[in-house]
Amino acid sequence: MAEDTHAPTPLAAGAPAPPFTLPGRSGSVVSLADFAGKGHVLVYFYPKDDTPGCTKEACSLRDGFSDLRAAGVTVLGISPDGAASHAAFAEKYSLPFELLTDADHSVHEAYGVWGKTPWGLGTIRRSFLVGPDGTIVRVFDDVDVERHAGQVLAALKPAPVAEAFAAVEAAVEAAGAAVSTAVSESRKAVKGAMKSPEVKDAVAAAKKAVADVKKQPAVKKAVATAEKAVSDVKDAVSAARKRPAVKKAVAGAKRAVAGAKKAVADVKKKPAVKRAVAKAKKAVADAKKRPVVKKAVASAKKAVTRAKTAAAKKPTGALAKLLALVTPAKAAPKAKPAARNKAAKKAAPRKPAARKPAPKKAAPVRKAARKPAPKKAAPVRKAARKPAPKKAVSARKPGRKPVMRKAPRRKASRR
């Protein structure tokens, strides 16, 4: 079939649903007439299998499928995709309802859902709730892909509930109208009161009093002084900002702040930092979940509560007596002297109290001077030995060695 680019003519509620017979994903052929008199049929058209919006819509109907079946609703999805694509899509997301293929988009055109879309010529997302008699009960132009099952179930609510909702909406509108009327009448009353002579005279008197206060010399001078002070401050600030050193300092401070912010942001973006933060949070959470930690926290809370309760109570028994003995009693206020004693005290001048001489400080004990240690006597040097006179060489007997005698050493005498 040739593609038609004319604007589709959408169907409205109350119109008969166009019949169709299309192949399903399992290879079987499904007709709308097969469900006549057996309950409602949700015929929903979607652009393409396994795309983000179509996947959310299909999963919403899958999650609410048991409630839809309990309400007597059969779900049929239709798109131009082939049976193999439908089968893979249904298997991937465990879809329990039938998906039909409209390859030449003739059924799309019959329902007015084939036309221009933001992505070109194709399927317009729209759903139709068909009644047991074959007429369209509800058309869902604005499909909420994440809550489409809830939209269908809300459309199947009993009539009394719908009437109750309508009554509530009417009551809200009536209340809003009453509030608007009351506000309008209040404004009119205020305007009427402002036009009365008494109110006008009071307003004029107040304005005149303010004008008289402003004309007083002291007030004028104070206002002028304040204005001049403000002007001087502004001039000083402006002059300070124009100084090169100030400008340079401000620019440097801004650059430093920007660099610090960037450094902090870069550190936070590092995977190692993110992992460390996440690990620390997890460790804290795990520690809080441990029975030992929970028990310790509970015990600490109980101990604090007991301590507060004990501190609030007054001591009794032996403890109270002990505190009474330890705590010094307050001195009783002295009785006031008679009036004549006061007069006598005033007449007699007070003699200054003789000051007691301050005790003399004991003279510091001087430490005994240490005697110098006796110097050690210089060691006596040994007298130089005179060489012994050489004896005459006697004839040595053969076989004997001469005996050498050692001279005795003299010890140095110490004083």
Tens place of pLDDT for every residue, the chain, 415 residues?
A: 333 434 456 689 999 999 999 999 988 999 999 999 999 999 999 999 999 999 999 999 999 999 999 999 999 999 999 999 999 999 999 999 999 999 999 999 999 999 988 888 899 999 999 999 999 999 999 999 999 999 999 999 865 555 666 666 677 777 778 777 877 777 777 777 777 787 777 788 878 877 887 788 887 888 888 888 888 878 877 887 788 887 788 788 888 778 878 877 887 788 877 887 788 788 778 877 888 878 888 888 888 788 777 767 666 666 666 666 656 555 555 545 444 555 445 544 555 455 555 555 545 545 545 555 555 555 555 555 655 555 544 445 445 555 566 566 665 555 3
State residue 406 phi and psi, 5-degree precision.
Answer: -90, 140
Identify whether residues 46 and 151 lie together within a single domain.
yes
**Same domain membership, residue 258 and residue 152:** no
How far apart, in whole angstroms, are the C-alpha atoms of residue 157 and residue 71? Answer: 10
Q: Do 117 and 230 sit in the same domain of this protein?
A: no
Question: 285 in a domain, yes or no?
Answer: yes
- Residue 82 lies inside a defined structural domain of this protein: yes
Chain position carrying tokens 């509930």: 161
Decide which of 156, 185, 204 is a domain's last residue. Answer: 156
The answer to the question of residue 60 being in a domain is: yes
End position of a domain, from candidates 214, 232, 249:
214
Evaluate whether residue 29 is within a structural domain: yes
User: In terms of residue numbers, what domain contains 165?
Assistant: 159-214
**Could you tell me if residue 49 is inside a domain?**
yes
Q: Which helix (H) or strand (E) covers residue 245, if one does?
A: helix 244-269
The sign of the CA dihedral 375, 377, 379, 384 is positive
Q: Final residue of a domain: which of 288, 307, 326?
A: 307
12 within some domain: no
Judge if 42 and 112 occupy the same domain. yes
Distance CA 375, CA 334 (A): 77
Whether residues 58 and 143 fall in one domain: yes
Q: Are residues 71 and 171 in the same domain?
A: no
Contact 40, 132 (CB under 8 A): yes
Q: How many structural domains comprise the chain?
A: 4
- Do 203 and 287 reside in the same domain of the chain? no
Q: Confirm whether 54 is a catalytic residue.
A: yes
Tell me, what DSSP letter sits at residue 135? B
Verify that 129 and 200 share a domain, yes or no.
no
The answer to the question of residue 70 being in a domain is yes
Q: Is 110 exposed, middle or buried (0-12, 13-18, 19+ CB in 10 A)?
A: middle
Q: Which pLDDT belongs to residue 54?
A: 96
Which letter does DSSP use for residue 16 in this model?
A: B
Active-site position among 54, 78, 99, 136: 54
pLDDT of res. 153: 94
User: Among candidates 142, 66, 70, 141, which has minimal Cα distance to 97?
Assistant: 66
C-alpha R_g of the chain: 56
Burial of 107 (0-12, 13-18, 19+ CB in 10 A): buried
Q: Are residues 94 and 198 in the same domain?
A: no
Q: Are residues 275 and 229 in the same domain?
A: no
- Residue 108 in domain: yes
| 300 in the same domain as 246 | no
* 210 and 250, same domain (yes or no): no
Residue 231, pLDDT score: 84
* Rounded CA separation 369/367 (Å): 6
